[in-house]
Amino acid sequence: MATPSDDHGAPPEAIFDWAFLTGHAEYWMFITLMMAGLFMVVARGNLVKKVVGLNIFQVSVFMLYISIGKITDGTAPIFPLNMDVDPDVIYSNPLPHVLMLTAIVVGIATTSLALALIVRIREAFGTIEEDELLILERAIDTEENRRYSAQSAGDA
């Protein structure tokens, strides 16, 4: 697989190609991690654990981006201090690094926003479990419905 165009035209039996397997195992590992995070968001009721799951999901996305920029036998995209750039040295792709660097700091800022919301939810409802929150919400809804229907009945 010398060029990307070969890759696209590869017949299905190339899946058992050794180079293909080792070249894609990294992506599958990131997907495993991503699914662990997704499972935590979907299946765990505690809101703090949901936020941690979101963080895991986020980290796996970062890794997917960084792994796209990695080049075999490459090195970090920082030139020597005297700017004497050797054309033979392979530098990895710096662009994904830039995107993910800002994303990490934005990620912690938004995570703290989510945590602040959780604190407020706890103060308003007294719980941070999803199941209990749903029950409380439903009770509030039925109460409002009852009051509204009683009011409209009174009007009529």
Instruction: List the interface residues with other proteins, window 69-88 (CB under 8 A).
Output: 69-72, 74-81, 83, 85
Q: Other C-beta atoms within 10 Å of 74: how many?
A: 13
Residue 141 beta carbon to other proteins: minimum distance, rounded to whole angstroms: 21
> Two tokens at 59?
């980290």
- Whichever of 85 and 150 has its CB closer to other proteins, that residue is 85
- Say how far apart CA 146 and CA 156 lie, in whole Å: 15
- Say how far apart CA 14 and CA 8 lie, in whole Å: 11
Kindly identify the residues of this chain, within the stretch 98-127, that bind other proteins according to CB under 8 A. Answer: 98, 100-113, 115-120, 122-123
The residue whose two tokens read 């009721």 is 45
Pattern 6-25, binding to other proteins, x per CB under 8 A? -xx------x---xx-xxxx
Q: Could you say which of 28, 134, 143, 144 contacts other proteins (CB under 8 A)?
A: 28
Q: Is 138 in the site for other proteins (CB under 8 A)?
A: no
- CA-to-CA dists, residue 5 to 2, 9, 20, 72, angstroms: 9, 7, 14, 19
